[in-house]
Structure formats: structure tokens, C-alpha cells
Structure 1
């Protein structure tokens, strides 16, 4: 049980390190990510924040 809780905590900490949507780092990361792996929300956010 302790291992499970540890994994959950580490996962939450790593998720907190993701760049903010719309930031330059996020736009660059999305440009590197294959377009087929984008979700509909990611595509919408990329268009809204990185193109316009």
C-alpha cells in the first residue's frame, strides 16, 4: 500500500511540472509531439494559443 501511495504522489508531482498551456514551452512541446497523438482539446488549445 505504501508503494501505491508513493507512486500516486510522484505522479502528481510530475504532472505539476508540465508547462502551462499556451506558454512558449508548451507550444514547442506540441510541435515536437506527433499530430496523430494530439487530443481534440490539445489541437484546439494549440490553434488558440500558438497560431493566433
Structure 2
């Protein structure tokens, strides 16, 4: 049970530190990430926000 709790808390902490999709930080992070590790959603978002320079809605 302790391992599960630790893993869940670690995951939440990492998720809280992720940059917002479409932000400049997110685009840089995606540029540095190996293309083979991208999901279909990440490909679409990268194209929309980083290539076409559309701004994410708040």
C-alpha cells in the first residue's frame, strides 16, 4: 500500500510540473522529445500551436 501511495503522489507531482499544452515551454519540451515517443494528440497539438502558431484558449 505504501508503494502505491508513493507512486500516486509522485505521478501527481510530475503532472503538476508539466507546462501547459501550446505554451512556449511545451513546444520546446516537445521539440526535444524523440519523435517516435509522440502520441497522435501531441502531433496534432504541436502542429497547431508550434508550427501554425495558433494560441491555446484559456
Higher relative CO (Cα under 8 Å, sequence separation at least 6) belongs to 1
Q: How many residues align?
A: 52
Aligned to 2:37: 37
Q: Structure 1-normalised TM-score?
A: 0.87
- Please, which runs of 5 or more residues in structure 2 have no aligned partner? 53-58
Normalized per residue, the structure richer in helix is: 1
Measured on the aligned residues, the alpha-carbon RMSD in Å equals 1.0
Greater shift, 5-14 or 37-46, is seen at 5-14
Q: Structure 2-normalised TM-score?
A: 0.79
The runs of at least 4 aligned residues of structure 1 exceeding 6 Å deviation read: none
- Please, which runs of 5 or more residues in structure 1 have no aligned partner? none
